[in-house]
Structure 1
Amino acid sequence: HESCGQCTPCREGTAWMTKILARIRRGEGELSDLDQLAEIASGIGIMPGTTICGLADGAAWPVKNAMTKFRGEFEEYIKSGRRSSGSALAAAH
């Protein structure tokens, strides 16, 4: 855990993104998790000066990009309820 804990967007946002991604990775995710994940990632570090450092932005960008470019794979992974060896999520472990 890299957050110093001083900024709510970073402290809470990064923790929730981690929990949601872990739940999806374990095969316990729901499609609604993707909307929540995208909303959290879009909400942290979106305006300069809302956090002390760039950690929130740095943590949010990969999630934002994954939701934009690979949402279909996330959806397929969640719907299958299992870890497909060809999945980008399975490979990311």
Structure 2
Amino acid sequence: MKTLIIYDNTGYIYLQLKSTENRIPQGGIQFLEMEVPEGKYIKNIDITVIPNVPVYEDVPKTDIEKLQEQIENLAQANAELTSIVAMGKTNA
């Protein structure tokens, strides 16, 4: 299996990618060192501006987070229905 190895001029290996369809770097390899905001990930690097800047996107919600939101929504809907039913009984 082909492996793409990213390393620096001292021979230090930063990344090894095992795949049959690795993209081979074109030209030089650049780097940015920065803090990534919480809840975001770097989608790509905008190289049309100097200095180059990262393009951030929101980290997708996990299945557990989606289920927790559904539970919260159902609990709120249940509370509203309970309130409506209780008010209907007291008005009758």
**Bigger Rg, which one:** 2
Q: Give the structure with the higher percent strand.
A: 2
Larger relative contact order (CA 8 Å, sep ≥ 6): 1
Q: Same fold (TM over 0.5)?
A: no
Give TM-score, length-normalised by structure 2.
0.23
Q: Give the structure with the higher percent helix.
A: 1
Give TM-score, length-normalised by structure 1.
0.23
